[in-house]
Structure formats: structure tokens, C-alpha cells
Amino acid sequence: MKSNKILMCALAVGAMIFAADKASAVLGVVNVSCVVLSDSNHVDVSVVPDVPGTGVYKEKIIKHAFNTKRVLKILADATGNGWFTNKASRLAYDPAYNEAATAWYEDEFENGDDVYGIFYVTNTTSHDVYRLDGYDEEESYYSYVEFDSYDWELGFWDNAALGENYARSYVENDNKNTYSSMDRTFGLLYIHDDPYDFDIADYPYGIFDENDNAFIIRGLGVFKYGYNSTDETESFHLRGSGDGYFLDSYESYPAIKGIVTFKGKGQREGG
């Protein structure tokens, strides 16, 4: 693994270092645009009665649109928060340090690393906010959504199966106090309705264990980070494919292809 990483949410103080206690949230909206591909049951096209081996059978692929609206419906049903499906509701993300997830990760794996990334559902009209991970009354950690990337240390990333290499371009201008970078590296988004079936990086078969509705997108992502004297921005654009499980909606375990995007902006520390 390359050792000279410049990580998301990093601020420049001499050499580039990672800021675990970032001063302000770089909160933004996540958009999901996918196509779900499932197969229909075979149809008898031509069969000669009582004569075996004379049938003609066909099966076709059925395409369903799957977008952020559908994601919010899954999360609304899972949490009992019907307002998730209101027109003004959004899936929001902050790639900041996640103290709750880090505590669980360190307990589960003795060498577990820090976890970054917190998902919310927000509403721009009512200003309701619901965090999608945390600890329940039994002090058990739960999570409905995770975004994992090894190189950018997002989510439950401590697994080489995620892919650890990256390609980077960047421009740092000390005279103008600006910086911008773009990485291409592997990432995945996992959304599901069983809150205790998380950490797909370490438990890859979890998607089918207890969930009634779940999907995962894996692929090469474009990750951008930048700052000036007052603001910092972060974004990712993930295009890929994956798996789904929709108990009541589709006839089979579908394949998925699509795009996930995020763009956030916040005040830079000291800006």
C-alpha cells in the first residue's frame, strides 16, 4: 500500500496530515441512480400437450429504476420514520470522524482503525435530522448505511479486499493557500434495512443474512478534495455494479448497475 496518502478531510499543516477532529462538517447530499436487473419466471411459449421435450421456453431480464427515492423508502420502513419519503427529505453524508463506529470497530477487531463517514436523513422544510447509525438502548452498535473506501479511510475499510491502490493528481498553491486533489480508487455503498447487518467489507455475505431489502454498489470512484482560505469541499462519484435483495418487490436476487454521487462543502478550520 502506498504510504504517502493525502486523506479526505485532511488539512495542510506543513506536510499533509489527517485531521481526526475536523472543526466543521463538510455535509452534502448523496444521490443514487441505478438500474435493477432481475429475471422473470420462464414462460411456456409453445408446448405440444402430453409430448415431453416439445416445449419452447423463454426468460427475459426485467429492468427497474432504483434511485434515492427508493432508498429513502427502504430506510423509512426500516426505522418507522415516514417523513423520510417526504419530497423535501434528503440522504445526507458527512465524511467526518465517526466516534460511535470507531468504538465498535476497535472492540470487534483489536487492530480496528478509525472510521470516517456519517449518514443522515434530513428534511429541508421541517429541518428534521435522523442519524443512520449509533448505539441502541442495549449498547449495541447499529448502522443502516455505509460507504467504504480503503484509500480514503471511509467506513469499515480495513480490508485489502476493498482494493488499496489509487491514482492521484493534485495541485497545491502555497501563495494562494489553495489545494485540490483527485483520486481514482475503489469504493462501495451498502444500504440495508437490518441495522445489525453492517460492515460488508469484513462480512461480505451479510447482505443476505437478515435483511428484507438491501443493495450494494461496488466500483472505481473519483474522489475529490479541495480547500481555499475559507472553505473546504469534498465529493465522490462512484460508478459500478453490485447485488441486491428485495424481499417483497422483485422476483429474484437482482444484479444492479448505477451511479452514486456526493458533494459537500464546509468552513475550513481557521477560515
The pLDDT tens digits for 131-155 are: 999 999 999 999 999 999 887 778 8
- Chain-wide mean pLDDT for the chain? 82
Gap between the Cα atoms of 133 and 126, Å rounded:
21
Least confident interval from 12-26, 64-78, 202-216: 12-26
The pLDDT tens digits for 170-211 are: 999 999 999 999 999 899 999 999 999 998 888 877 677 788
Of 140, 129, 167, which Cα lies nearest the Cα of 25?
Answer: 129
pTM for the structure as a whole: 0.83
- Return the domain boundaries, the chain: 25-37+59-267
User: What is the predicted pLDDT for the residue at 48?
Assistant: 59
User: What is the predicted pLDDT for the residue at 201?
Assistant: 81
203 to each of 29, 115, 190, 208, how far by Cα in Å? Answer: 27, 16, 12, 11
Contact 96/71 with Cβ under 8 angstroms? Answer: no
Gap between the Cα atoms of 64 and 35, Å rounded:
6
* Number of residues in the chain: 271
The pLDDT tens digits for 91-124 are: 999 999 999 999 998 888 876 678 899 999 999 9
19: pLDDT strictly greater than 50: no
DSSP string, 43-99: EEEE--TT-TT--EEE--EEEEEEEHHHHHHHHHHHHT-GGGGSTTEEEEEEEEE-H
The grid coordinates of residue 66 equal: 432504483
User: What is the predicted pLDDT for the residue at 264?
Assistant: 93
30 to each of 46, 94, 118, 148, 163, how far by Cα in Å? Answer: 48, 10, 12, 14, 23
| DSSP bridge pairs for 266 | 232
25: pLDDT strictly greater than 90: no
Question: What average pLDDT does the segment 14-42 reach?
Answer: 63
The grid coordinates of residue 131 equal: 442519524
pLDDT: is 44 or 203 the higher one?
203
User: What is the predicted pLDDT for the residue at 2?
Assistant: 30
With a CB cutoff of 8 Å and minimum separation 6, the contacts of 178 are 171, 172, 226, 227, 228, 229
